[in-house]
Amino acid sequence: MARAMFDYTKTVLEKVSFSVELFTRELQKALKRLLPHEIDELRLWLVGFTKKKPELAICITILS
């Protein structure tokens, strides 16, 4: 079940990546839902994802 939530979170983040505001909001929701080790995995995924979309790089600070 937990893995499904992580995959769902990534899907949602990819779909709202056109807007920094929506992306930030969904990222904050994800921090409340995910387990600590999933947040670490999400951080790694986000670093790679923001290389393709540098306007979202500011969102990495939310995970710190």
Confidence at residue 62, expressed as pLDDT on a 0 to 100 scale? 86
Q: What range defines the domain where residue 48 resides?
A: 35-64
- 9 is a domain residue: no
This prediction has a pTM of 0.90
- 3 is a domain residue: no
- 29 is a domain residue: no
- 5 is a domain residue: no
Contacts from 42-49 at CB under 8 Å and sequence distance 24+? 42/6, 42/9, 42/10, 45/10, 46/13, 49/13, 49/14, 49/17
- 26 is a domain residue: no
| Residue that has been written with the tokens 């393709």 in this structure | 52
Tell me which residue of 37, 38, 10, 39 sits closest to 26, measured CA to CA.
10
Confidence at residue 26, expressed as pLDDT on a 0 to 100 scale? 96
Confidence at residue 2, expressed as pLDDT on a 0 to 100 scale? 61
